[in-house]
Chains A and B, each alone.
Chain A
Amino acid sequence: MQLSVNGTDHQLEVDPRMPLLWVLRDLLGYTGVKYGCGIAQCGACTVHIDGEAVRACQVPVGDAWGAVTTIEGLGQPDALHPVQAAWIEHQVAQCGYCQSGQIMQAAALLSETPAPTDADIDDAMSGNLCRCGTYPRIRAAIKTAAARLRDS
């Protein structure tokens, strides 16, 4: 089967039932995508499929319906996505393990809702668990990123 990840087409011989998460991590080396719970309770594995935020642990790779974008494809250290830049500016991360998923979720939110209210942020982000408790900074960084994206 074919899988497009961050603009690169991969030819895979794999059990189509294997979750996209493990295909990305173990077979293709996209380790920015994180395993946290395996049951869509934490959001650490959040990636985009055709721009929509999905939990990669819940998508059998055979069902992946479009192009996949991971945190590595959203932006890189020398070419940051505005959401990543806001995350750095607000120094959101502590352990950082959930932040790939948080950032992917936030980027999807802002592409749909350029000026999110607090309630919009609550709705979009509450499926993403942070055990370190970085929520106040996540909220602030989303607002900063939204302002930057609107200005640009």
Chain B
Amino acid sequence: MSLAGTIARRTLLIGGVAIAGGVAFGTWRYTTPYANPLLSGLNKGEAALTPYVLITQDGITLITPRADMGQGAYHAQALLLAEELDVDLDQITADPGAPSAAYWNQALSAEAGDFLAPGDGVLNSMARTVADMGVKFMGLQITGGSTTVPDGFDKLRAAGASARETLKRAAAEETGLPVSDLTTRSGAVVLPDGTALPYTQLAARAATLDVVQDVPLRDPSQWRLIGKPTQRIDMVAKSTGTQTYGIDVSIPGMVHATVLLNPAQGGALGSYDTAPAFRIPGVQSVVEITGGLGIVADTTWHTFEGARAIEANWPASSMPATMADHWQALSDSFTSTAQDSRKRDDGDMETALTGEVIEAEYRAPYLAHAPLEPINAIVRVDEDTAEVWTGTQIPRFVQANIERITGIPADRVTVHVQMMGGSFGHRLEDEVVKQATEIARQMKGTPVKLTYAREADMMHDFPRQIAMGRMRGTVKDGHVESYDLGIAMPSVIASQMARQGQTVPGPDSQIVAGAWDQPFAIPHHRVTGYRAPDLAPLSSWRAVGASSNGFFYNAGLDELIHAAGADPLQERLRLCNDAVARRVLEAVADMSGWDGPRPAPGKGRGVALTYSFGVHCAEVVDVTDTADGIRLDRVWVAADVGTVVDPVNFETLVQGGVIFGLGHAMFGEITYENGIAQQDNFDSFPSLRLDQSPEIIVRGLENARTVKGIGEPPVPPAAPALAGAIFAATGTRLRDMPFSRAVTFA
């Protein structure tokens, strides 16, 4: 097919999915729409039955193209493949594989189509700009949005089933037995007499066959792995120091590098003196890169020392001078001209807002992603190829950006995606790859390992959005009668996509995510998004818009419920108009004994529910007001993801998400002065520690009709449930995060 034809087909495909909500293509077909990337690298006797299963005489590799930043993506993908393929988890190797359009994220497409205005979604936009960008940006292989399991749930099981049935056909040819006499178990086709033919021995013949398509998926009652406790495939390596992360990779001939950037975000390179750096032993060179310098040395330590030694004068940033200016920009955005969306407008709000109107304002600060592994990348630029080793959620953007910098075509850029020591959205950015490429192209043939110092990682992070919420509302006869919530923030999506050369027309529904679509039937209810001007460059942070809006929405609702004299949980249940959400609320009521004896004096209990990423998640937090401050005692969480694929990992991710949400609400804040982040390490950007972490009790529900991911949904309800508990214990209403500005935590 011609290139133009290919583009047209892919454009149509992306648009079609965005409209159809991801169901149009049903189960995965390995020949369409993208070529199987494994077929080009096969040796004789190897079979790549789908883009997800690679079998050789040596073993079975399951390709897990969604990146793993700690959420267990490799395990979840391997488990779904193994379920239908009939292999045991200790028989397989999981490999992220090479970036390929074949691994595009269908669930993210569906989410994107939903969260942006009709016809103006990011994917529609990307489809429209495809002629400019070339085909490399299509086939969005992105990990994010809690989509790994929803995206893979049918696709990976279908791939496993196709591979299994094809292997059975190969065994039938080998033995002359009918396929109907054959079964499969533990990586082998089993003959009626019990003889096991390992898949690895059938690979050569299977490679000559057409892949069996449209195999019916097994009934859930037959599942061996899904929904059962399994041991994550990375658990031994991660408990013995033998897991290799990007920062651990070593390539022969490699040099180390770090960056010294204009401390002001986005500032340019000014004048500098490198002479002091060369007094550090091991420093080899200092080269100019965008916005700063690259320091090359023999060890990571000497790159850090070299960077510290350099004296430079940095041009000023274009960012506002003070945080008061940032907040003023948000405050000034609650106008009709800055209105971005009004996706909810029930009843008659203007008429309802008469008499005694309750009003309040809420704030959420910038936050760093701060995964514990600082960002890093190894890049080698050769004459007409390049090779990259890095932990990334966007491998195909990485290829495209290296092409942009070096002119080397993206399909000649090999990306080795590495296990990531956390991300929380940080690795949806690839500045570190761009900078390593800028250094590496100045020393062709030499692998350059760029490691950020923690200080650079935190100061040059693209943070979580700053946001402001303003609520008004009324109560009547002991109930919430009207609730009007306005939210102002800059567009995270526009900021993020701009760094990838993309413009995003239309409203950004992340501005109202976790607020406009909550399952409550309030007689008069309105949610309006206001787009603030660009301030600090932003990036997606775990739960994105909902990370701030879940707090605003629940905190505002709590104020109204309190004014009505109602119970926070009972009133939410009374207002709830969604059966799945109701069960989630009832579950946390049951788990926490909400309707039992009221907490003793000095103790307090709060509740919140947020619908985000397609998941209803409710949390109840218990605190005690002690002489040393507020102590977090216990959290109960219920969430409905349709099907709990891995109950152990489900509990782990929920606990982690709650701690993430609580810790940042309590302590987290990035502030800028003249564009310079004032927090640069974990002393000035504190997190929740073990001694302050509460007990967390988790229940997974399965009433929702579709399968959803759980990486992000536990984050948004944590802050408002804590704020509600502190109000109940102390009478102090917290409206600004971090809460540590107003209260002390024990």
Of B239, B374, B451, B692, the contact of A87 (CB 8 Å cutoff): B239
Residues of A within 8 A of B660 (CB): 131-133
Q: Of A80, A93, A136, which is within 8 A of B696 by CB?
A: A136
Asked if B453 is an interface residue, CB under 8 A from chain A, the answer is yes
**Residue of A whose beta carbon sits closest to that of B374:** A35
Instruction: Decide if A1 is an interface residue (CB 8 Å cutoff).
Output: no
User: Residue-by-residue, is A72-98 near B (CB-CB < 8 Å gives 1, otherwise 0)?
Assistant: 100111001000100110011111111
List A contacts of B420 (CB < 8 A): 95
Given known pairs A31-B244, A136-B693, the reply for A96 and B299 (CB within 8 Å) is no
Pairwise interchain contact B372-A98, C-beta atoms closer than 8 A:
yes
Q: Which residue of B lies closest to A29 (CB)?
A: B250
Which residues of A sit under 8 angstroms from B71, Cβ to Cβ?
94
- Interface stretch, picked from B87-95, B228-236, B553-561, is B228-236
List of B residues within 8 angstroms of A125 by Cβ = 690-691
Is B373 positioned at the interface, with any CB of A under 8 Å from its CB? yes
Tally chain A residues at the interface, Cβ within 8 Å: 60
Which residues 398-451 of B sit at the A interface, judged by CB distance below 8 A?
420-424, 451
Find A41's partner among B681, B692, B693 (CB 8 Å cutoff): B681
Choose from A30, A71, A94, A136 the contact partner of B72 (Cβ within 8 Å). A94
Q: Are B689 and A26 in contact (CB under 8 A)?
A: no
**A138 on the B face (CB < 8 A):** yes
Bound: A36/B681 CA distance, A: 9
Chain B residues contacting A75 (CB-CB under 8 Å) are: 240
User: What 0/1 readout, one digit per residue, does chain A (99-141) give for beta carbons within 8 Å of chain B?
Assistant: 1100100000000000000000111011111111111111100
B690 near A39 with CB under 8 A, answer no
Contact check, B690 vs A131: say whether CB atoms are below 8 A apart.
no
B427-479 contacts to A, CB under 8 A, are: 451, 453-454
- Which stretch, B130-138, B500-508, B650-658, touches the partner chain A? B650-658
Interfacial chain A residues near B695, Cβ < 8 Å: 136
Within 8 A of B (CB), among A22-47: 22, 25-27, 29-39, 41-42, 44
B245 at the interface (CB under 8 A from A): yes
Query: Is B37 interfacial (CB-CB < 8 Å)?
Result: no
Note all chain B residues with C-beta closer than 8 A to A80: 239-240
B248 touches A31 (CB 8 A): yes
B683 at the interface (CB under 8 A from A): yes
A9 contacts partner chain B, Cβ-Cβ < 8 Å = no
Closest to A36 in B: B372
Please report the C-alpha to C-alpha distance between residue A97 and residue B245 in the assembled complex, in whole angstroms: 8
A31: nearest residue on chain B (CB-CB)?
B248
- Chain B proximity of A90: nearest CB distance (Å): 9
Cβ contact of A129, chosen from B236, B238, B682, cutoff 8 A: B682
Could you mark each residue 42-77 of chain A with 1 if its beta carbon is under 8 Å from any beta carbon of chain B, else 0? 101000000000000000000000000011100111
**Residue B159, interface by CB 8 Å:** no
A32 contact set on B, CB distance < 8 A: 240-242
| Most chain B beta carbons < 10 A, residue from A34, A91, A103, A137 | A91
The chain A residue with its CB closest to the CB of B281 is: A15
Q: B69 near A: Cβ within 8 Å? A: yes
Q: Which of A37, A75, A127, A131 is packed against the most chain B CB atoms within 10 Å?
A: A131
Chain A nearest CB from B269 CB (Å) reads 24
Contact of A103 among B239, B304, B451, B663 (CB under 8 A): B239
Most buried by A among B71, B239, B299, B655: B239
Give the residues in chain B near A103, CB-CB below 8 Å: 239
Is the CB–CB distance between A95 and B69 below 8 Å?
A: yes
Is B70 in the interface zone, CB < 8 Å from A?
yes
Cα separation A38 to B308 with both chains bound (whole Å): 14
- In the assembled complex, how far is the CB of residue A74 from the closest CB belonging to chain B, in whole angstroms? 8
* Other-chain contact of B70, A72, A77, A96, A123 (Cβ < 8 Å): A96
A149 interfacial contact with B, CB 8 Å: no
Q: Are the CB atoms of B70 and A26 closer together than 8 Å?
A: no
Tell me which of A15, A19, A27, A97 contacts B422 (CB under 8 A).
A97
Most chain B C-beta atoms within 10 Å of own C-beta, residue among A33, A94, A122: A94
- For B245, what are the chain A residues with a Cβ–Cβ distance below 8 Å? 97
Question: Are the CB atoms of A126 and B689 closer together than 8 Å?
Answer: yes
CB distance from A15 to the nearest CB of B (A): 6
Once bound together, how far apart are the Cα atoms of A121 and B421, in whole Å? Answer: 24
- In contact, A139 and B300 (Cβ under 8 angstroms): no
Closest to B230 in A: A91
Size of interface on B: residues with Cβ below 8 Å to A: 63
**Complex contact B690–A121 (CB within 8 A):** yes
Enumerate B241-261 residues with CB–CB distance to A below 8 Å.
241-245, 247-248, 250, 256
Given contacts A26-B299, A94-B71, A133-B655, contact A99 B682 (CB under 8 A): no
Complex CA distance for A29 and B252, rounded to whole angstroms:
13
B655–A137 touching, CB < 8 Å: yes
Within the complex, the shortest CB–CB distance from B474 to chain A, in Å, comes to: 38
**For the complex, what is the distance from the CA of A133 to the CA of B652, rounded to whole Å?**
9
A61 to B: closest C-beta gap in Å: 10
Contact B659 A135 (CB under 8 A): yes
Taking CB atoms, residues of chain B closer than 8 Å to A122 are 690-691
B210-242 with Cβ < 8 A to chain A: 231-232, 234-242
> B77: shortest Cβ distance to chain A, in Å?
16
Say yes or no: A131-B239 contact (C-beta < 8 A), given A41-B681, A94-B652: no
Say whether B371 faces chain A, with CB atoms less than 8 Å apart.
yes
Say whether B232 contacts A91, CB under 8 Å: yes
**Chain B, residue nearest A79 (CB):** B240
Q: Are A72 and B242 in contact (CB under 8 A)?
A: yes
Q: For A44, what are the chain B residues with a Cβ–Cβ distance below 8 Å?
A: 372
- Could you tell me if A133 and B693 are in contact, using CB atoms closer than 8 angstroms? yes
Q: Say whether B688 faces chain A, with CB atoms less than 8 Å apart.
A: yes
Contact of A19 among B70, B242, B301 (CB under 8 A): B301
A37 and B681 in contact (CB under 8 A), knowing A134-B652, A138-B690? yes
Which residues in B have their C-beta under 8 angstroms from that of A95?
69-70, 371-373, 420-423
| Least CB separation from B242: chain A residue | A77
The reply on B687 being an interface residue by CB < 8 A is yes
When each residue 679-710 of chain B gets 1 if its CB lies under 8 Å from chain A and 0 otherwise, what string results? 00111000111111101100000000000000
Distance (whole angstroms) from the CB of B121 to the closest CB of chain A: 31
What residue in chain A is nearest B376 (Cβ atoms)? A35
**Partner pick for B424 among A30, A91, A126, A131, CB 8 A cutoff:** A131
Contact: A131 with B371, CB < 8 Å?
yes
Q: Is the CB of A42 within 8 A of B240?
A: no
A104 to B647, CA, bound (A): 28
B239 to A92, Cβ gap below 8 A? yes
Q: Restricting to B265-312, which residues have a CB under 8 Å from any CB of A?
A: 281, 299-301, 304
Determine which of B236, B453, B656, B687 lies in contact with A88 in the assembled complex, contact meaning CB atoms within 8 Å: B236
**Closest-CB distance, B453 to chain A (whole angstroms):** 7
Contact check: which of B232, B241, B453, B648 meets A70 at CB < 8 Å? B241
**Distance between Cα atoms of A116 and B693 in the complex (Å):** 18
Query: Could you tell me if A131 and B370 are in contact, using CB atoms closer than 8 angstroms?
Result: yes
Taking a contact as CB atoms under 8 Å apart, the answer to whether A84 and B239 are in contact is yes
Residues of B within 8 A of A99 (CB): 238-239
- B298's closest neighbor in chain A, by CB? A26
Residues of B within 8 A of A42 (CB): 372, 682
Question: B280 — nearest CB in chain A belongs to which residue?
Answer: A15
The 8 Å CB contact of B656, one of A22, A35, A94, A129, is A94
Given A15-B281, A34-B372, A77-B240, do A91 and B648 touch, yes or no (CB 8 Å)?
yes
A103 and B656 alpha carbons, distance in the complex (Å): 18
Given A84-B240, A134-B655, 7 extra CB contacts under 8 A: A25-B248, A41-B682, A77-B240, A94-B652, A130-B372, A131-B422, A134-B656
Q: List 19 A-B contacts (CB under 8 A).
A: A22-B299, A26-B256, A26-B300, A31-B244, A34-B421, A35-B451, A38-B454, A42-B372, A72-B241, A76-B240, A80-B239, A92-B239, A94-B653, A95-B70, A95-B371, A96-B239, A125-B691, A126-B691, A131-B660
User: Considering the complex of A and B, which 6 residue pairs feature the smallest CB-CB distances, nearest first?
Assistant: A32-B241, A95-B70, A97-B421, A133-B659, A96-B238, A71-B241
Which B residues lie at the A interface, using CB under 8 A? Answer: 69-72, 231-232, 234-245, 247-248, 250, 256, 281, 299-301, 304, 370-374, 420-424, 451, 453-454, 648-649, 652-653, 655-660, 663, 681-683, 687-693, 695-696
